Amino acid sequence: MGESEKRFSLTLHYDGSAFHGWQIQPLDRTVQGALEDVVTRITGARRAVEGSGRTDAGVHARGQIAAVDMPGSWTAASLQKSLNALLPRDVWVADVSEVPAGFRPRFDAVARTYTYRVGTSPGCMSPFERRWCWPLAEPLESALLDACADQLPGEGSFRAFAKAGQPGRGFDCHIHEASWSPWELGRSFRVTANRYLHHMVRYLVGTMVAVARGHRPLADFQALLGNEAGLETSPPAPAQGLVLEHVRYAAGVSGAAGTGSTRRMLLALCAGLVGTSACTVESIPRTEDELPAIIQQSGEASLRSVDQTRAPLGAETVSDQVQGSRTTAIVRAAQEVAPAVVSIAVIRRQRAARRAFFDDYLLPYRETQGLGSGVIVNAEGTVLTNHHVIEGATQILVTLPDGRDFNADLVGTDPRTDVAVLSINEAEELPAAPLGTASDLLIGEWTVAIGNPFGRLISNSEPTVTAGVVSALGRHILPGGGDEGFYLGMIQTDASINPGNSGGPLVNALGEVIGINSSIFSRSGGSEGLGFAIPIDRAVRVAQDLINHGEVRRAWVGIEVQEIEADAFGRSRGVRVARTSPG
């Protein structure tokens, strides 16, 4: 930071529904990107905005802390006013304060508090509520939720609750507080910890809710906390119910979200009481009204001991053990995604094969049928499938696993990537599959292919589930005769994929869609363990372009290329630039 610059701390509120998380991504809308764009506009130069945490796509915040360096002429009041005038409506700067040059909002934080709301009453389905909670709309056993939460405070390994591919920085976390409380439309979970693993809170909530719904035994939760081998968490809770509420900082470190001078005074008071139980991280007040109660506790035992151990959850029956062993990660992944997998039937009008001179006049066209699969990706009825499933269709019928039939509209299609988007406009209460990412896949990890192979022969609307592993990544497949698409960077799997699976989801063991099944290599016409799926990240980008612009917008490099002649083994290792275009 230059000598004439100041560092400011920002307290941010944002609705994460339309953001792909906090951190800047090249092609996606993010909170950090929105802030940096506005800072660039008001200063004329690109300036980094540092956040206290990297919230995921769809996660909200009421107490995100960020820091930015500004020219020395700026004041906290003028910066807050300018940012709020230009930021999009789903981001709001609640407070701005000048902080020391060395303040780092992420690395200086000592604790963060998240809340997660689960809707259990019908009112949670309201469009004014469901964007900010998990709209489960079914009762939960509160005693089981509390029994799970009571096991969390203390220090321990949360490896079982970390998303696959977690960076190797250790799995130990210190949870200061964890509890469930009533909310007018359901239950609310509150947790404070020194650090979190990727998706950790969502995995915790997803597993606790599964216990409270009776989908798995209570003893599973303690076993997962003990990192017992062969046991998997339940799928993570949806992102929209999670809110970053507070970020807390040590005494003498500026930038903490809170109640101004009173809060900073109390932090200093806590610093003077190190070595006693008078003041802990958990006891820092969130409002001015809490201050007398905290001071009254001075000299008394802290609300929670940092050495608190996890109590046993009670005896586990043999039937619970057997049931738990049957409910594998593959079973849970199928339960999470299969309700959103649809069967797609199409009618095509094609020119009939010519057998005689007069056939062009008497039988110029004939109708044919085709079958495929698709996956619903949002509650509004958007369906992802393959271009080759709906190519040439004059009528598209979508059948849900519960047997409901709907006519579907074609929103857009892209032959080059073999992605198509359909819309079901008439349906209500549609299930949506959780979307993951293919960017952190590991070769050898479990995959589940879900779809409707040979749908006409099976004559059943419920999808088929097959399992395998990620066999390879980044596979490039040359198009066959008559194909328009180039299958680049594909996921290879040995999960059985057959005719009719096209357009269905490829799912990881966490119950997240990681790809759209597209093609197979086969000499027999059936599965031979060489299946390929379009990475979900690419499919979503293409779908967004089709929805927003009606076509996929691609960069043009201004060159024409020719394939280099193949060698004696039929390999072509590059292209030759044939011509360049000016400009």
Q: How far apart are the first and last CA of the chain?
A: 39
Nearest to 176 by CA among 312, 266, 307: 307
User: Is the distance from CB of 227 to CB of 160 less than 8 angstroms?
Assistant: yes
What is the Cα 265 distance to its own chain's centre?
A: 39
DSSP 85-120: HHS-TTEEEEEEEEE-TT--TTTTEEEEEEEEEEE-
Single out the catalytic residue among 82, 471, 502, 518.
502
Q: Residue 385 and residue 408: Cα distance in Å, rounded?
A: 12
**CB-facing half-sphere around the CA of 527: CA atoms within 13 A:** 22
Q: Residue 123 and residue 138: Cα distance in Å, rounded?
A: 11
* Number of Cβ atoms within 10 Å of the Cβ of 296: 9
Which backbone phi and psi does 439 adopt, to 5 degrees? -75, -20
User: Is the distance from CB of 268 to CB of 253 less than 8 angstroms?
Assistant: no
Single out the catalytic residue among 56, 388, 414, 545.
388
Whether 73 sits among the annotated catalytic residues: the reply is no
Q: In what order do the strands lie in the sheet with 419-423?
A: 405-407, 393-399, 341-351, 365-376, 382-385, 419-423, 409-414
Single out the catalytic residue among 418, 494, 537, 545.
418
Whether 343 sits among the annotated catalytic residues: the reply is no
Whether 418 sits among the annotated catalytic residues: the reply is yes
Residue type, 429: E
Q: Residue 535 and residue 473: Cα distance in Å, rounded?
A: 10
Catalytic site positions = 388, 418, 502
